[in-house]
Amino acid sequence: MKSVKASAPATVANVSCGFDIFGFAVEAPADEVIVTLTDNPGVTISKIVGDDGRLPREAEKNTSGVAVLEFLKAIDSKLGANIELYKHLPLGSGMGSSAASSAAALVAINELHGNPLTREQLLPFAMESERIACGSAHADNVAPSLLGGFVLIRGYAPLDVASIPTPAELYCTLVHPHLELKTEDSRRVLKPSIPIKDAITQWGNIAGMVVGLMKPDYGLIQRSLHDVVAEPIRSVLIPGFHKIKEEAMQAGALGCGISGSGPTIFALSSERAVAERVGKAMQQQFDLLKLKSDVFVSRINGEGAKILSA
């Protein structure tokens, strides 16, 4: 039967000020899948590499499996599929690991059917698999992983996603300490209401970020990359966060914050050399805490999930 190999990239959700509404894709790391059509209906997962045996092998409990099941149901397919999943994203890292697996599986299964659906139309299936993974059908990782670029989730009722143009010279540094946080736990620490004063600060920064990206105006981006809502609470779960952020800014970053719900920390810079220097400075701090970490530097990935070979 026909097989397709596809990949989907890691993503940074929230992006400091844009809690629950901003997300962007990076170039690496990326999860890969090989999806093969089967004559029997239903979805199987024959192989998962790179998860140390920790992800569920039942399709109904695995994000890539759920996404493909939802797709097949939606197009009323009589065929089934088998998935081989090659994890390159660490689990519980705040880099959109679950989203990348389902995004890759979705572009593969869509390709195998001759692409009946657009990328936007694939989104709800990926969101469904986020519900399985972390308890809420959020789109701020799956949307950028599927669509690429810097994405705004304006709202969910109905789902309204817009791409935000970004300057070509915008680099992301990701530093992933070898720690794990569950999105579910990380959401639980947030307060159900916030002072109106903080809300106004946050939305000034959100608007500033969008204006800064679209003009572009790096100074405005820098002044806008602040989070008074989630970071003050979630940062306590990340050892050394404030010192690491300080070092990133010292090294020339435009801004630095928690990627998604952490513990990965992202920074944005206006030059590759700065982004690499920022990565070294951040990693050094984790080293001092005897925490191993991985560093990834890339531009914003405008492409998102992609077919590698048929």
**224 part of the interface to a second copy, by CB under 8 A:** yes
Closer CB to a second copy, residue 212 or residue 257? 212
Q: Is 305 in contact with 96 (CB distance < 8 Å)?
A: no
The reply, when asked if residue 91 is annotated as ligand binding, is yes
Cα gap 293→284, rounded to integer Å:
9
Listed in sequence order, the residues at least 6 apart from 268 whose beta carbon sits closer than 8 Å to its beta carbon are 170, 171, 172, 173, 221, 225, 253, 254, 255, 256, 275
Choose, by CB under 8 A, the member of 220, 244, 248, 275 that binds a second copy.
Answer: 220
Extract the tokens encoding 261.
């719900």
Coil, strand, or helix at residue 152?
A: strand
- Known binding residue 96? Answer is yes
CA distances from 150 to 125, 126, 145, 198 (A): 20, 18, 10, 24
Q: Which DSSP state fits 219?
A: H
183 is catalytic: yes
Catalytic residue selected from 70, 128, 130, 231:
130
Rg (CA), the chain: 19
CB neighbours of residue 175 within 10 Å: 26
Q: Which of 36, 63, 183, 264 is catalytic?
A: 183
Residue 206 is given by DSSP the state H
Out of 1, 49, 199, 233, name the contact with a second copy by CB under 8 A: 199
Total number of residues binding a second copy (CB under 8 A)? 39
User: Residue 229 interacts with a second copy (CB under 8 A)?
Assistant: yes
The residue from 53, 76, 196, 309 that contacts a second copy (CB under 8 A) is 196
Pick the stretch among 115-123, 199-207, 287-295, 300-308 that binds a second copy (CB under 8 A).
Answer: 199-207
Nearer Cβ to a second copy (164/308) = 164
90 marked among binding-site residues: yes
Q: CA–CA separation, 7 vs 119, rounded Å?
A: 14
Binding mask 10-49 for a second copy (x = CB under 8 A): --------xxxxx---------------------------
303 assigned to active site: no
List beta partners, residue 3. 36
The SS3 call for residue 221 is: helix
Distance CA 201, CA 288 (A): 34
Q: Among candidates 94, 76, 68, 79, which has minimal Cα distance to 37?
A: 79
The verdict on whether residue 212 carries a ligand-binding annotation is no
255 is an annotated ligand-binding site residue: no
Residues 152-191 that bind a second copy (CB under 8 A): 152-155, 160, 162, 164, 190-191
Q: How far is the CB of 209 from a second copy (least distance, A)?
A: 8
Least separation, in Å, of the C-beta of 193 and a second copy?
5
Residue 49 backbone phi and psi in degrees, to 5: -115, 135
User: Would you list which residues are annotated within the binding site?
Assistant: 90-100
User: Would you list which residues are annotated within the binding site for ATP?
Assistant: 90-100
Q: List residues with catalytic annotation.
A: 130, 183
Q: In the complex, which residues of this chain contact a second copy (CB under 8 A)?
A: 18-22, 152-155, 160, 162, 164, 190-196, 199-212, 214, 217, 220, 223-224, 229
